[in-house]
Amino acid sequence: MSSRRDFIQKLSFGFGLTAISDLTFRPDNPPAFRPADKQLRVALMGLGGYANIVAKAMQDCKMATIAGIVSGTPSKIETWKQKYNIPDKNIYNYETVGELKNNPDIDLVYITTPNSLHHKHVLQIAAAGKNVLCEKPVADNAKQAREMIAACKKANVRFYIGYRLHFEPHTKEVIRMREAGEFGKIMHVNNYMGFKIGDPTQWRLKKALAGGGALMDVGVYSLNGARYATGEEPVWVTAQETKTDPVKFAEVDETILFQLGFPSGAIANCGCTYNFNNTERLYINGDKGFAELSPAFGYGPIKGRTHLGPLNQPVVMHQTLQMDGIADIILNNKPDPHVTGEEGLKDMIVIDAIYESIRKGGAKIFINK
């Protein structure tokens, strides 16, 4: 795999062949949507590689449908318009996106633009009065995440983060087992995610667009996985960075290892990298049992086992489950499986602390919420 694009395409293609927080709105004054036909009408903002994966997955959705697009690349618009039968009135660019407020045919905008644009775009969509689903990481830092949450609350719209694994059956089963006490007291978590990044000119290696490197892109999987593996929020972190190619990774981090401490005494050893492949694992060790997912974080198929035997949950394209799940939450007020903007903020608080630890030579940083 020579680039993250190859990584994404390979995983999604192979998969396709086989196949804390309260909500950020006031329950007595929910945002407007059309529940009659039980279809959440979604506009995709940013028509890059991941948006194509989401769009493909949404063809199998029962409760969510592609209703519009927002793109800064005119050459992409005609293809998307024809492929997904999108009317002209539901097509926007980054200059006209504010006009969404006058369009009752779009309920939610899914933002899949580069990381450092998330803050600006979430504020724009909130100002337009539309519900927001934003890819992770939610922002460049916790300060921005708090501003995004505040903007959505002020606009009375719902704000979610693209934590697709919270809808994925193997991951959900591991969380269920942990919540049921089947692993006993969680003692240790070991999580890794990474790949060898290719094209040195891509936006993921430019801090102005990516916000950071491996930690922001794939480290969030290791971090979020440690949080749902323990069901706790870390209270301290230590971290170390390794950089073997200071030219290619001049602006962003290449490989980061970090350790998390939790109130119960559980410890997590986590890592993320842009320098090597075959790095995708979640391992939970409790005093009564264990769980292992490997692959654990990619687009699938997720595979796993526990002390009770193999996990044989259904293999379904993650984004299909995610989009139907978000629709079910909004249209039917179903419980949120920890995918709100506040969940994104919790990850950003820890990411800020990880970077602080690295700046301070690996010092233990106590995390302030």
Mean pLDDT by groups of 10 residues along the chain of 369 residues: 44 35 34 57 97 97 98 94 97 97 98 98 98 98 98 98 98 98 98 97 97 98 98 98 97 98 98 96 98 96 97 96 98 96 98 98 93
Q: 16 to each of 42, 52, 301, 305, 315, how far by Cα in Å? A: 21, 13, 9, 22, 10
pLDDT value at position 300? 82
Please list, residue by residue across 244-267, b when 16 or more beta carbons sit within 10 angstroms of its beta carbon and e when fewer do: eeeeebeebbbbbbbbbbbeeebb
Main-chain dihedrals φ then ψ at residue 24, nearest 5 degrees:
-90, 35
Which residue segments constitute the domains of the chain, with CATH numbers given?
4-164 (3.40.50.720), 165-313+338-366 (3.30.360.10)
Is 100 buried (19+), middle (13-18) or exposed (0-12) by CB count in 10 A?
buried
pLDDT value at position 368? 82
Amino acid letter at 229?
A
Residue (of 190, 179, 165, 186) closest to 292 by Cα position: 190
Strands of 255-261's sheet, edge to edge? 309-311, 304-306, 290-293, 279-286, 186-194, 267-273, 255-261, 236-242, 365-366
Question: Helix 318-332 crosses helix 49-58 at what angle (to 10 degrees)?
Answer: 70
Amino acid letter at 233?
E
Residue (of 279, 331, 291) closest to 172 by Cα position: 291
Rounded Cα distance between 60 and 315, Å, is 13
pLDDT value at position 45? 98
Helix (H) or strand (E) holding 365: strand 365-366
pLDDT value at position 38? 80
Contacts of 114 (CB under 8 A, 6+ apart): 46, 203, 204, 209, 210
- Taking the CA of residue 344 as centre, how many other CA atoms within 13 Å lie in the half-sphere pointing to its CB? 33
Residue (of 102, 112, 88) closest to 323 by Cα position: 112
Instruction: Tell me which DSSP letter residue 273 carries.
Output: E
Q: What is the DSSP string of 158-178?
A: -EEE--GGGG-HHHHHHHHHH
Residue (of 41, 162, 61) closest to 112 by Cα position: 162
pLDDT value at position 219? 98
Q: What is the DSSP string of 111-142?
A: E-S-GGGHHHHHHHHHHTT-EEEEPSS-SSSH
Neighbours of 225 (CB within 10 A): 27
pLDDT value at position 37? 58
User: Which amino acids are annotated catalytic?
Assistant: 136, 221
